[in-house]
Copies of this chain bind each other. A is one copy, B any other.
């Protein structure tokens, strides 16, 4: 019963790297190609995603900052990891609290460690609410 992480990334090369990294860390990646698709999936709650990993510049009308806010609207403790190159400098202004920005290029261990840090803190904070 793997933990499913919702990933929004349209660059296929980076998609592959992210999927491999998550798989090695014991996570399962569910890929969304646009922000709209991701928001629909998060709000539908048909599948229980455990975290969001998102690029900033997305196909379609939403960017990564907006998708993360939509995810936090659904669950205010939702773990969020952003990945970006040039947009990383906007994190201090546009990011949500308790999120992590990975500046591209990053090592795969940075991604699995970032997710684990956020999930481990969340479990601790939320352990009494299950």
Residues of A within 8 A of B (CB): 1-3, 21, 24-27, 69, 72-73, 76-77, 86, 88-103, 105-110, 112-117, 119-120, 123-125, 127-130
- In the assembled complex, how far is the CB of residue A129 from the closest CB belonging to chain B, in whole angstroms? 7
Q: Report the bound CA distance from A21 to B2 in whole Å.
A: 14
Q: Would you call A123 and B101 a contact (CB within 8 A)?
A: yes
Q: Would you call A130 and B72 a contact (CB within 8 A)?
A: no
Q: Would you call A91 and B102 a contact (CB within 8 A)?
A: no
Q: Would you call B112 and A27 a contact (CB within 8 A)?
A: no
In the complex, the count of this chain's copies comes to 6
Contacts of A73 in B (CB 8 A): 93
Q: Report the bound CA distance from A79 to B76 in whole Å.
A: 21
Contacts of A120 in B (CB 8 A): 100, 102, 110, 113-114, 117
Q: Would you call A72 and B101 a contact (CB within 8 A)?
A: no
Most chain B CB within a 10 A radius of its CB, from A2, A77, A93, A130: A93
Q: Would you call B72 and A92 a contact (CB within 8 A)?
A: yes
